Amino acid sequence: MAVITGGTRGIGLAAARGLGNAGVTIYLIGRDADRAAAAARDLRAQGIDAHADVCDVSDAGGMDALAARIPSPDIVVASAGVMAERMSKTLRTTPEEWQRVLGANLDGVFHTLCCFTPGMVQRRSGRVIVVSACLGRSSGPGLEGGLVPYRVSKAGVNAIVRAFAAETGMGSRGVSVDAMCPGHCRTDMGGPEAPRSAEEGADTIVWLATREPATPTGLLWEDRAPVPW
C-alpha cells in the first residue's frame, strides 16, 4: 500500500495512477476533502484500489491522527507542496509567507516521515520517495533567484532525505529513502506552459517505488538517474 501526500492533484496524482496501475493500493492525502474524494473516485473508475483522506501535512497532531486511522504503508510518496510568492526574496518575504511554505514543504515532509515510516523500519521493508525540486539543489543555479522560502524548503528536504537515508542504513536494512526532481511540469503549480506532463514528472517516482532492487538509495534522482544535490 502507498500513502501519497499531495496525491489529489498534479504530480502526486499522476504517481498514484502509475502505482495503482502497477497493482498498488493507494491512499491519497490532500487538504481539500471534495477534491480528494473525487480523485480517489476517478482512480477507482480506472480499476485502481484507491482511498482518500484529508490532512494538512504541516499539522503534526493531524498527521498523527491520520497515521492512526489508516494502515501502515509499504511505500510513502511525499509530494504535497506549495510554491512561494513570486517576489519572495530574502529581504522581501514575510515571516507568514516563510512559515506557510516551510510548514507545508519541509515540516510536512518531516511529519510524513515520522508518521508513516516507523512500520517500514520495523518490518525492514519499504520505500520512501520525497518530491524535491531543482530549485533546492546546491549545485548549479538552484538556490539563486528569488522564491527563497521555496528554494530553502527544498534544500531542507534534500538534507532530511540524506540524513534519514543514512539513519536507515542506506538501504541495507530494507528501507530505501530517496529524493527526486520531477522537472517543470504542467500542473496547478507548474502552470500550463511547462514543458513536461505530470505523468513525465511522476515517472521517476513510480520507478523508484517499484524498481528491483531498491538500491542504490539515499540519492537525488532526475529522469531515473542520480544528480548532484
Ligand X SMILES: NC(=O)c1ccc[n+]([C@@H]2O[C@H](COP(=O)([O-])OP(=O)(O)OC[C@H]3O[C@@H](n4cnc5c(N)ncnc54)[C@H](OP(=O)(O)O)[C@@H]3O)[C@@H](O)[C@H]2O)c1
Which amino acid, 170?
Answer: M
Instruction: Tell me the residue length of the chain.
Output: 229
Q: Which of 209, 179, 197, 189 is nearest to 21 (CA)?
A: 209
Least distance to ligand X, CB of residue 3, Å: 12
* Smaller CB separation from ligand X, 32 or 124: 32
Least distance to ligand X, CB of residue 164, Å: 17
Residues that bind ligand X (CB under 6 A): 5-6, 8-12, 30-32, 35, 56-58, 79-82, 104, 108, 131, 133, 182, 184-185, 187-190, 194
* Smaller CB separation from ligand X, 171 or 180: 180
Least distance to ligand X, CB of residue 80, Å: 4
HSE toward the beta carbon, residue 202, CA cutoff 13 A: 24
* Smaller CB separation from ligand X, 176 or 187: 187
Q: How far is CA 59 from the centre of its chain?
A: 16
Least distance to ligand X, CB of residue 190, Å: 3
Bridge-based pairing of strands 126-131 and 26-30 is unpaired
Backbone angles phi, psi at 77, to 5 degrees: -115, 115
* Smaller CB separation from ligand X, 171 or 196: 196
Which amino acid, 124?
Answer: R
Q: Which of 117, 139, 206, 216 is nearest to 172 (CA)?
A: 216
CB 52 within 8 A of CB 37: yes
Residue with cell 521493508: 125
Least distance to ligand X, CB of residue 195, Å: 9
Least distance to ligand X, CB of residue 210, Å: 19
* Smaller CB separation from ligand X, 159 or 170: 159
* Smaller CB separation from ligand X, 76 or 171: 76
What is the DSSP secondary structure assignment for residue 85, as one 8-state letter?
P
Q: Edge-to-edge strand order for the sheet containing 50-54? A: 50-54, 26-30, 2-5, 75-78, 126-131, 175-180, 220-222, 225-227
